[in-house]
Amino acid sequence: MKVFLNPGHAPNGNPDPGACGNGLRESDIAAQVGHLVEGYLIAAGLEVMTLQSDSLSEITDTANDWGADVFVSIHCNSAASEFARGVETFSFPGSVGGRDIAGCIQRQIVGAFAEIDPDFPDRGLKEANFYVVRNTDMPACLVELAFISNEEDAALLKFQVDDYARAIARGVTDYEQAIS
């Protein structure tokens, strides 16, 4: 299976670091998690391409041209309220495959973090018309790992990067097993 990973926002945060908060930048966290996920998926025998870019069309065109079987975009959430917390994963409205891969990843993150932080909220699966899930030819999802604007979530993003990466990789391999 060919997996396309898209750590959100621009490499090195230039020109767009994404959400920022609690001393963290979304582009940096997404890149760290994406790099680790790539390694775990390669070790599991999957083909992986990773691209972090400020150009959404470059991202989707590259994934489509490569012939990816699945697309995963990795992000950190942010909200005006400092109390917003948790993980949520999006797929394009009506995409059964997108919802399936989103569900596999969401379940793995929720399960992994139930042990680390029993109060970590499962914000569930959602549908959205995000560019990267709308313009890819394969099942696609966008995972919002946690809220960078929340102090507790930011600590998870800073110190549990490997747990996020392992959970995403397990979600992808769960999806691979489900479709084979």
Q: What is the pLDDT of residues 36-77, one digit of tens each?
A: 999 999 999 999 999 999 999 999 999 999 999 999 999 999
> How many distinct structural domains can be found in the chain?
1
Beta strand pairing call for 24-25 and 87-91: unpaired
Q: pTM of the prediction?
A: 0.98
Q: Which of 9, 4, 38 is CA-nearest to residue 26? A: 9
* H or E stretch covering 105: helix 96-116
For 179, the token pair is 């479709």
33 pLDDT tier (thresholds 50, 70, 90): very high
Query: Which residue numbers are catalytic?
Result: 144
For 21, the token pair is 């908060």
pLDDT of residue 111: 97
Q: What is the pLDDT of residues 93-105, one digit of tens each?
A: 999 999 999 999 9
The CATH number covering residue 164 comes to 3.40.630.40
Close Cβ partners of 143 (under 8 Å, ≥ 6 residues apart): 72, 73, 74, 75, 87, 88, 89, 90, 102, 105, 106, 109, 168
Containing structural domain, residue 20: 2-179
Q: Which of 87, 11, 72 is CA-nearest to residue 38? A: 72
